[in-house]
Amino acid sequence: MNEPFPMVEIWRGPFLESLHLGHAVICDRAGQIAQSWGDPGKVILPRSAVKMIQALPLIESGAADAFGLSDAQLALACASHQGAPIHTGMVEKWLDMLGLTDDAFRCGPEVPRDSEAKHAMIRAHAEPCQMHNNCSGKHCGFLTLARHLGAGPDYVDPSHPVQLAVREAFEDVTGMESPGFGIDGCAAPNFATTLHALARAMAFFANAQEDGAGHRERAAARLARCMRTYPELVAGEGRACTELMRAMDGKVTIKTGAEGVFTAIVPEQGLGVALKIADGATRASEATMAALLVRLGVLDADHPATRKRLNAPILNRRGIEVGVIRGADGLL
């Protein structure tokens, strides 16, 4: 088995202070490995980096069209959002459209990650509800699918028709049977797969066409386009997904996941990218994804959104530059 590969270096002055190791795979149009670092066969939980896969049944079933979901709502169904008003406002309207309340969710409450929304809640002595959960858009999609299928309210149960549909789609686009699942932070099952299989799934999305022959292909292309069109809904202001998709002028779809996972869909080259940082560090997954996108020629190395994460200066509390976060030589 291949060992984790050096991905990101943290320098302080002339000293290499920290080193993040990980695994990454780039798959071509045929789903074959074009480039890899570390172990392509590494089994991981992809966490929120696969929300576009989890949303496939929402479109394939006919639920999205039956309920008249907009492109913005489909983007939100793939989001790990900040809990800002732009996000929670859409979630609230979506619930109203379904005739449901916050109690219908099974994701649990979460303090907004958006600082203004969080501070406003504190000033109002208010408590967060489930619509503030960063996964509430995905759960709106689950609720919509459950309603369309006439299924019961416990839509996060692994044996529920919603999750059975998600698992079938997941195993189909990854091209392998999942060895199992863990329960995600939002209470939904998160199916395990290999880095190669995850990159293969992203390559499927990259090569899908909205006028394609199959329902799954058309759904995949539609979701990837919606995410690129509404990057502010997929994450939020200041977040890597939003800023880097904007920096690439909406030509590439990227999605972060907890514990150092990141995926990318590159339609113009027909490539899918998946990475996992061994220690789960977000700073390293963002730097690695930026480095890979620069390597592929789809992201400008000098764009401010890139420099915020790759070759990014480390400042001390006096604002003095004391170090740098950079990609390891073998990655660049």
Calpha distance 108→112 (Å, rounded): 12
Q: Which residues is 25 bridged to in the sheet?
A: 36, 274
Q: What three-state secondary structure class fits 162?
A: helix
**Mean pLDDT confidence for 107-115:** 97
Letter string b/e over residues 280-299, b meaning 16 or more CB atoms within 10 A of that residue's CB: ebbbbbbbbbbbbbbbbebb
Cβ pair 49, 272 in contact under 8 A: no
Distance of CA 143 to the CA centre of its chain: 20
Q: What three-state secondary structure class fits 74?
A: helix
Q: Over the chain, what is the mean pLDDT?
A: 97
**Mean pLDDT confidence for 298-321:** 97
Tokens 């509430």 locate to 136
Q: Model confidence at 1, in pLDDT bands (50, 70, 90)?
A: low
- Rounded to a whole number of angstroms, the CA Rg of the chain reads 19
For position 332, what pLDDT does the model report?
82
Calpha distance 231→83 (Å, rounded): 14
Write the CB contacts of 320 (distance below 8 Å, at least 6 apart in sequence): none
Cα dihedral 100→105→109→110 (10° resolution): -100
For position 249, what pLDDT does the model report?
97
For position 128, what pLDDT does the model report?
96
Cβ pair 83, 134 in contact under 8 A: yes
Cβ pair 289, 44 in contact under 8 A: no
pLDDT in tens, 126-182: 999 999 999 999 999 999 999 999 999 999 999 999 999 999 999 999 999 999 999
Calpha distance 51→256 (Å, rounded): 10
Domains in the chain: ranges and CATH: 5-327 (3.40.710)
pLDDT of residue 56 exceeding 60:
yes
Of 193, 240, 198, which is closest to residue 36 (Cα–Cα)? Answer: 198
For position 121, what pLDDT does the model report?
96
pLDDT in tens, 228-282: 999 999 999 999 999 999 999 999 999 999 999 999 999 999 999 999 999 999 9
For position 98, what pLDDT does the model report?
98
Handedness of CA 265, 266, 270, 272 (dihedral sign): negative
How is residue 3 annotated by DSSP?
A: P
For position 2, what pLDDT does the model report?
86
